[in-house]
């Protein structure tokens, strides 16, 4: 979602659409040369479908699967319930949930912990409930919930590298949380793993690495316009 669909160019009036995400070194966002190609309807459909994957229900409670500002309303044991999610995710890993109930009720709330979120924690009404949550799992809190309860989920966002495949450990992408950080550069830099992991935030949604040859800016896919970008860089280890 963040590294492709939400950064797509808009469909043009004549039907031309964003074609695909280019992962070559000299990548660019381009339109298809054909009107109404097979993917012209797929991209907006996929974006619209994400909302139905944000939350899931079961008789015992609710699952929070995606993190995005939203409100979900459901019927819990005959009571109308709602959970409002507030955050600047994926730029920030602190996510707040506010619960609305007509009266107290006992049920379970579940949150998905992404694979990259080592050291995640959950607090309820300012009191830490769970720490060091297991990545790639759902964590559950079963309790008597009250109107106005506040839940705060913290997903640590550390810089990390992912290899293009197991045979090419020197070819890596830089990530932070769910975001790939794309280098905006016209030439392949001489760079190491250490250099990449030293990237610092210079503005909201913008990172930079200082090299002897000059700084390199890194942007999430949604912030890239017509610049040449890359996904993977070949490093010196």
Residue ranges of domains in the chain: 54-154, 159-234
Structure tokens at 95: 């996510």
Long-range contacts of 20-28 (CB under 8 A, 24+ apart): 21/221, 23/231, 23/232, 24/230, 25/188, 25/230, 25/232, 26/186, 26/228, 26/230, 27/182, 27/228, 27/229, 27/230, 27/231, 28/226, 28/227, 28/228, 28/229
Q: Which CATH superfamily is domain 54-154 in?
A: Golgi alpha-mannosidase II (2.60.40.1180)
Residue 43: its pLDDT value, please? 66
Q: What are phi and psi of 194, to 5 degrees?
A: -60, -40
Q: How far apart are CA 232 and CA 94, in angstroms?
A: 28
Residue 49: its pLDDT value, please? 77
Residue 40: its pLDDT value, please? 58
Q: How far apart are CA 22 and CA 149, in angstroms?
A: 44
pTM (two decimals): 0.89
Chunked in runs of 10, what are the mean pLDDT values of the chain (237 residues)?
A: 84 76 82 72 70 91 96 95 97 97 97 97 96 96 98 97 93 96 90 95 90 92 92 88
Residue 103: its pLDDT value, please? 96
Structure tokens at 81: 């319930």
């Amino acid at each position: 979602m963040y590294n492709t669909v939400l950064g797509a160019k808009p469909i043009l009036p004549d039907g031309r659409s964003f074609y695909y995400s280019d992962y070559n070194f000299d990548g660019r966002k381009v339109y298809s040369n054909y009107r109404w190609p097979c993917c012209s309807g797929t991209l907006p459909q996929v974006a619209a479908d994400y909302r139905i994957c944000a939350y899931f229900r079961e008789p015992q409670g609710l699952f929070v699967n995606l993190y995005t500002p939203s409100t979900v309303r459901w019927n819990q044991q005959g009571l109308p319930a709602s959970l409002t999610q507030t955050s600047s995710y994926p730029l920030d890993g602190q996510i707040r949930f506010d619960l609305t109930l007509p009266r107290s009720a006992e049920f379970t709330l579940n949150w998905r912990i992404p694979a990259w979120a080592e050291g995640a924690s959950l607090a309820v009404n300012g009191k830490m409930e769970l720490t060091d949550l297991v990545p790639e799992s759902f964590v559950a809190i079963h309790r008597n919930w009250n109107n106005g309860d506040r839940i705060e989920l913290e997903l640590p966002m550390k810089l990390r590298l992912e290899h293009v495949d197991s045979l090419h450990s020197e070819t890596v992408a830089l990530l932070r949380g769910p975001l790939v950080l794309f280098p905006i550069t016209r030439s392949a830099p001489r760079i190491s793993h250490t250099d990449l992991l030293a990237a610092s935030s210079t503005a909201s949604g913008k990172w930079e690495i200082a090299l002897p040859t000059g700084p390199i800016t890194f942007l999430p896919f949604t912030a890239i316009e017509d610049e040449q970008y890359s996904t993977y860089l070949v490093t010196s280890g």
